[in-house]
Structure 1
Amino acid sequence: MENGDDKDAPQPSPAVNRWTVGLTCAAIVATGYLIAWLVHEPEPSEPTARAENSYVTPPVTFPVQIPGCDVVEPPRKGQSFGMVYSDTDRYDNPSYPWFSGPKAVAMTQALQDALPGDIEIAFDSLRDSLVFQPILGDPTQNKGLGGWTRANATLLRGDRAGALSVTVRKATKPIPPCVAGELDERRHLPDGTIVDTDDTWSETNGVRTLSRDATAYLPDGSVAYANATDQAADGSGRTRAVPLAIDELVALVTDPELRISAPVPPGTPSPPERCLRFSKSGAVIDQAQARRWDEVLAQIPLDGVTLDRPLGALLPGELGGGVCQAVRVTTPGLQSRLTVVISTDQPLPQGPDTSSYDGATRRLPDGAVVESMERRSSPSRTVTVTRRSGVQIQVSSTDASDEPLPFAVLEEIALNPGLEVSR
């Protein structure tokens, strides 16, 4: 969570009681943003009934001494926070020349390598697999919103699960003062880095969330922030727990490879293509099944077709119960986006074989149904194979610069007999 502009601070008081929060969300479809603001205001000193949609944090005592702080300022009267989520996979934002697709890949690898060895990243969509996302917005138009790249994931540690979010940005303001209630400690490292840490909790509608964070203000002007909570989206039944200790968070935010000035190793590729939202309903596909399909996809011969990365890295889609992978076709004359989506529990299409100007449907001897569709206005081709087991494989060639991939290539993938549910 990124701090926004602060309101005037109040006069010192013995304590600041619980805070409530109002939440407003706005979706700006044209730019693919989802923006949420949280605005905190002190409650009256007298006890009151918990309001609907309430947000409660620990009481703050003031005056107070904080390790590493020569001066501690009083709690803030009001504070706003902004969160920006992206529905774009474009990394070429000219407003942030320090960042690029290969830079995101290098930072992602560094962050994942810096995790403790007993931690696993939960099987989730690319956006929630601890991969740094594009930086949104224009700093001249959206002050306080955007400006950072974010990586999120659910982390698994033994029988426990919790969430991690890491952001990196370029500093635009001086290092903030120490404020009561906003940090537990300020660390001064030998290289001039300053790290603020906090171990706290909050309650939303009576449900408590434990939270730890570390913010590093680095000598090159980078600001790295890591927040770990006991909120897990894994759904595996593991015990909720904050997955990282404070010192482990400090190690992440001070990793030299996360700094904006860290060079990108030669030959670093661009990030994987995101499978944009799809709405195939069906049973959730677990990681073990997806890995079996990965092995099949990796072995399919695609003669004469070159890809920017191999097939065989299926991840859950951002909506629905299926798994998917998208890659770029780099074959001259066939440059396009190749997407494979596999879902289960899909109904078998009924009706006779058909053929038309833009598509065809045919039933195979084993009962599987093959549907082919072509769009000439925005060149694309799709082959969808639905099997009697309910497994459906959809293979598409879109965003073609000239010609999309031939139907024969798409069927080579979609009709592979190995793409079935393991019994």
Structure 2
Amino acid sequence: MPGTEERPPNDRRQRWTWRDTAFIAVVVLLGAGAARLTQDEGPAAIPGCESVQAARESEMVSITTIGGEDPGYNDPDYPWFSKSKAVAMREAVIEALPVDARREDPGFDFVFPAVRNFGEAGSTDTGEELTLGGSTTAHGDIARGDTRATISVDVREWIGAIPPCVEGSIDRREVRADGTVLDIYETKDAASPYAQDFVVAYVPGVSRVFASVTRFDGTSTQVLSTDELVDVALAPGFAVTEDVRSMTLCGILTVMEEDGVDWDVVSRLNAVLDDSWQSLGTSGVRLDRPLGSLSADGSGHGLCGDVVVTGPGAVANLQIVVTQNEFRMTGSGRIFPDGTLISRTEGSGTSSVTVARPSGETVVVRTVTRTTSPLVIEQLELIARSPGLEIVPS
């Protein structure tokens, strides 16, 4: 399948050291215009495609690379990508997943590595220039019930024309009102091993996103529907021209650790938050997703959630962090007999409550808004002090 790649090893030192190789020969399925036609009869029509080209053979191509050190996230050939952009794209994938999708490795999934730079490439038969490398791919395993699958997202800049439809490569093409083109492929034999569905989203003159879901258990159950996979491919944050968001509250409060947070803990804390919201008395206030939507923050030692809360004439982001990395926020504080410190900070745009326990666990609940917050500081404190909102119960 186009865009399918082997999962890179976790240890960067074990990854393929392609920059030390002067010449590499690989076999790829060439795009339109680069290979010989294999059928004399006209190809079958594809919904949404004005024309369809016949399927093509694979050919040998050569890749010429320039030796030297790997520039990592600072490759001058790809100024659109950076470490901050990688973090923003990871957050985009995670936020686009359905709220009931369980991430199997939440501390280390969907990490976008440095862009692969293969240098110049050409077909050994035609000498035609090819577009290889220039993209970054992230992987993550998710589950729904007993069904598991791997989600892969590949992002690259795209300034060329939208490629023509090729027989057998996609099931249909959709063109959105804003000009975005979606190529969709759905596995015909869903129960076959390594069954893969994918969506390719082209934003003309901007970027191409290849999002796929691959099942390995031989079941016919879909982990993501086609519409949900489209949501991933179209998630905000992938466009190479899009501004990178500033560091999130999670990134400020946590540091990298090796251990992850168990899914049972995530589920337990989410249930605590859902119960807290029900008892908060928030008539007329709505959430865009359950308050219990925490997920691992990428540090391996904390959880984060960010929901949009809306009330009459008011809207804000309600952000929650539960972390084992001790943190103290400035502001008025109260110390309880058990040593728990509660700090409150109120502002025109941001209000927050921090509950720091003697164990070092910290809960931060805050609202960020450009209007008026639908929640008052007392409600934020009630959420932060929810009984049982601890990774390791005291």
Q: What TM-score, normalized to structure 1?
A: 0.46
Q: What TM-score, normalized to structure 2?
A: 0.49
